[in-house]
Structure 1
Amino acid sequence: MTTNDTITATGRTTSNSRITSNSRSASASRTSPTGGLAARGGGSAVPRTPAAARTYELDRRHVFHSWSAQERISPMVITRAEGSWVWDDYDHPLLDFSSQLVFTNLGHQHPRVVAAIQQQAATLCTVAPQHANAARAEAARLILSHLPDTFEKIFFTNGGADAVEHAIRMARLHTGRIKVLSAYRSYHGGTDLAINVTGDPRRWENDHGAAGVVHFFGPFLYRSPFHATDEAQECERALAHLEQVIALEGPGTIAAVVLESIPGTAGVMVPPAGYLRGVRELCDRNGLVMIADEVMAGFGRAGRWFAFELDDVRPDLVTFAKGVTSGYVPLGGVAITGPVLRTFDDRAYPGGLTYSGHPLACAAAVATVRAMEDEGTVAAADRLGRDVLGPGLRDLAARHPVIGDVRGVGAFWALDLVEDRASRTPIAPTGGTSERMGRITAACRVEGLLPFVSSNRIHVVPPLNISDGDARAGLAMLDRALGAAEG
């Protein structure tokens, strides 16, 4: 495997090599969710099921995959899913510690969400966005009920990237300025503007010098760009750096600061206490719009409805997607506060989408939010992080020297894997992978664990309602996989 590959949640490369974890071991075995023994196999020894074989053949012939060198991938076929489990092309169960791309917050096939989609389809499948419909109106009301009372309306989009695009457009029109500041360690989406606002290496080949995007360093104590020795010092120096960037770029030229409340695929870097409040103060002082990207961290992932609540801050605009429907139907949106909203009272907003507020998606959102309310999902995620995932991952770190850092909150965690703890040298480069990282990923798959792997990190991001038993089983699988790869 080359060092230019990027590993995705499926354990496949997305660039220049076919990942070793795609192979299966015919001799390995594991216990299925129903208690039976499911033999792990692969290649010609254990053929794919006929239906999966047909799916794989059609996929490789006709489907163009994102973030991938098309001839160097071998995608896993998912044939069915339930709760925290998925089944692969060989009908083997895998514990989904990735929540796919960190969006199945309620797990797979939640009956209330599935029933809501079915009922909506039987009533009103689709309608143009200029017309009101009950699902969209109720979805907006429910989402706003979990936001500060400064937020008044929701603009619905099809996903997270276009939510970020529209939030930036709103901020630019509201302020009459062009520049947007965003952090280097960030991901905001794959569309043209969103990818330029992104700070991680996925931006590089897509960046054509979009006008008005300026990057800065956010706080990250483990790999501090500020030579800080503790969280308080990291916070202070990161804010001083941002203040200097604003001053040197010219406050009167800047429309907004956009940042993930907790950077997700860049490394699950929970900001130190006071950082988001400090950004809010800098925005207020300089007349900037504060945009909180909650696409991944929102809807319970961080043990709060929205991750910015951890620092008791109120942004001007909030973008969301993923967990709002548990990913069952694509939906995103922008939550808008009064001052920004007033800009468009008598001035037409120059933007829209054909499927904005799509009834099926909004019905899924209504069912998802109501299920989370009734089932106490957000509190459960908070407890899961404090009582199960946090302690369990720190225990793994005590026994596996390859783990340099454990960080996270709620059901949102990452293991930073290093060559040695003294140097903190990553075992894979940023935006790439390595032979060692491939071994670890492959060992997870052999154990029956579907991880989310990015660069030198394993992100532990299971469904928020995963049972303690399944969560602990996943940690045990990860423990054995790390041991096998080390051996």
Structure 2
Amino acid sequence: MNRIDETGQSPASNRAGATDARSAAWRDDRRHVLHSWSAQALIDPVVVAGAQGSWFWDEHGTRWLDFSSQLVNVNLGHQHPALVEAIRAQAATLCTIAPYHANEATARAARMIAEVAPGDLDRVFFTNGGAEAVENAVRIARQHTGRHKLLSMYRSYHGATAGAIALTGDPRRWNAEPGPPGVVRFWGPYAYRSSFHARDEAEEGERALAHLQQTLELEGPHTVAAILLESVVGGNGILVPPDGYLQGVRDLCDRHGIVLIADEVMAGFGRCGEWFAIDRWGVVPDLITFAKGVNCGYVPLGGVIVSERIAQAYQQRPFPGGLTYSGHPLACAAAVACIGVYRSEGLIERARRIGAQIIGPALAAMRERHASVGEVRGLGAFWAIELVRDRATRAPLVPFNAACAANAPMAELVAACKRGGVWPFAAGNRLHIVPPLNIDEADLRHGLAAIDEALSVADRYAVD
């Protein structure tokens, strides 16, 4: 997947604020840093000098409204004083300690995460991020069931470590193949581009469930340890499942003794207007993987929330995993502060409100105005604009996994957004609207207006 798909960043010729002045930081970066998912000679990274709230700026003073929340993790924006102070205070008390000890920050974070998790998910194993959370969730599921197969969706992303990338359903896994054995992929619901020739969302959900059931039958459900899915698919399109779909997956898992793992790394902690996206449908998985919004990435943190039923197995036998920085005190102190802010500022409810009252209506109006907008969809502060060349045929604005030349229309659109002072999240033929949950409403409307204006660039490629 090319650079613009992952971060929305494009080469200097396509971004605002480019200058011939090159700082020592830029030179050191270009000489020594390998950037994620990028051809190193084809990128020209912005040197970020600072950030505050929903804005960040480069060393030349060019400012952008952060409509990407970086990588959809800065849910409380930049430099939130409660998180900064929590890290500072924890650093003055205890910077780090081995994970076989207990400490107040880690214990409080685990308790607070368990308090907002659904059902009996009451135990937390901490990791350094989302990929490690997926790795450990899979290990738990396999040990719990004694089975080896894992089912995951096409159009998914679960991380870049060996097991997590093998479970990923998008092109980022290709260069890591062949991966570990046992992974089987299935098609999830996506009504706009239905793999099942469905006529509406309800039929899409029914047919996707029938497909999953048939996949299980052909694989042998007695061989399947877990079904892993993003409750709302994130980087592959912000695909909101039809009502009833996740409950149907839960029922299949219950029928066959399969562990249901909800990947909430991107969709969790308020992003969809719920503590966890799966809460919207009242479904309780066996394991939840989390990261990103748990502490907004101020210090790396992720983890697995484990149901009490599964966790009981580790009372008399060792838990099958460990990390030097599991439950890192600085990261957990930030999580305690972050969850406190979600509660005190009512941000879960606010995300739901701004999605229903501001983002959703604004994007619906854009669809009416712009020939390039095929569909808009989302929940809370988690939305996508799907861009097309032709609404009738739904031909995407750029091809799937487009190379640089074929991706030019998206690169031009991203550059236009940045000239308008907004840093977008671009993925494939989509713009994702994923601002901080506490973004000022005036800034939110300003950013939406800038994207509305930039869409005229995409319209040039579309059939009116």
1:43 aligns with 2:13: no
Contact 2:8 2:427 in 1 (8 A): no
Letter of the 1:105 counterpart: N
The 3-state SS of whatever aligns with 1:333 is: strand
Aligned CA distance change for structure 1 residues 103 and 301 (closer, same or farther; 3 Å): same
Return the match for 1:158 from 128, 139, 147: 128
The CA deviation at 1:430 is: 2.5
1:21 aligns with 2:14: yes
Contact 1:6 1:455 in 2 (8 A): no
Give the distance between the partners of 2:69 and 2:443, measured in 1 at CA: 13
The CA deviation at 1:343 is: 2.0
Contact 1:9 1:98 in 2 (8 A): no
Give the distance between the partners of 1:358 and 1:382, measured in 2 at CA: 31
The 3-state SS of whatever aligns with 2:218 is: helix
1:210 aligns with 2:180: yes
Aligned CA distance change for structure 1 residues 315 and 153 (closer, same or farther; 3 Å): same
Letter of the 1:43 counterpart: T
The 3-state SS of whatever aligns with 1:459 is: strand
Give the distance between the partners of 2:396 and 2:275, measured in 1 at CA: 32
The CA deviation at 1:77 is: 1.2
The within-5 A match list for 1:61-460 is 61-432=31-402, 434-460=407-433
- CA deviation string 1:244-276 (max 9, x = no partner): 001100011100000000000000000000000
The CA deviation at 1:149 is: 3.8
Structure 2 residue runs of 5 or longer lacking an equivalent are: none
- Residue in structure 2 matched with residue 475 of structure 1 by the alignment: 448
The 3-state SS of whatever aligns with 2:297 is: coil
Letter of the 1:83 counterpart: G
Taking structure 1 as the reference length, what is the TM-score of the superposition?
Answer: 0.92
Contact 2:163 2:179 in 1 (8 A): no
Aligned CA distance change for structure 1 residues 232 and 149 (closer, same or farther; 3 Å): closer
The CA deviation at 1:10 is: 4.3
* Percent of residue pairs identical: 56
Give the distance between the partners of 1:83 and 1:76, measured in 2 at CA: 19
Give the distance between the partners of 1:70 and 1:455, measured in 2 at CA: 20
Contact 1:321 1:331 in 2 (8 A): yes
Aligned CA distance change for structure 1 residues 475 and 466 (closer, same or farther; 3 Å): same
The 3-state SS of whatever aligns with 2:396 is: coil
- CA deviation string 1:24-54 (max 9, x = no partner): 3xxxxxxxxxxxxxxxx4334xx46xxxx22
Aligned length in residues: 457
Contact 1:201 1:430 in 2 (8 A): no
Letter of the 2:18 counterpart: G
Structure 1 vs Structure 2 CA RMSD: 1.3
Letter of the 2:304 counterpart: V
- CA deviation string 1:252-301 (max 9, x = no partner): 11000000000000000000000000000000001100000000000000
The 3-state SS of whatever aligns with 1:172 is: helix
Give the distance between the partners of 1:209 and 1:134, measured in 2 at CA: 39
Letter of the 1:449 counterpart: V
Give the distance between the partners of 1:169 and 1:484, measured in 2 at CA: 47
Give the distance between the partners of 2:49 and 2:7, measured in 1 at CA: 14
- Residue in structure 2 matched with residue 29 of structure 1 by the alignment: none
Give the distance between the partners of 1:58 and 1:72, measured in 2 at CA: 16
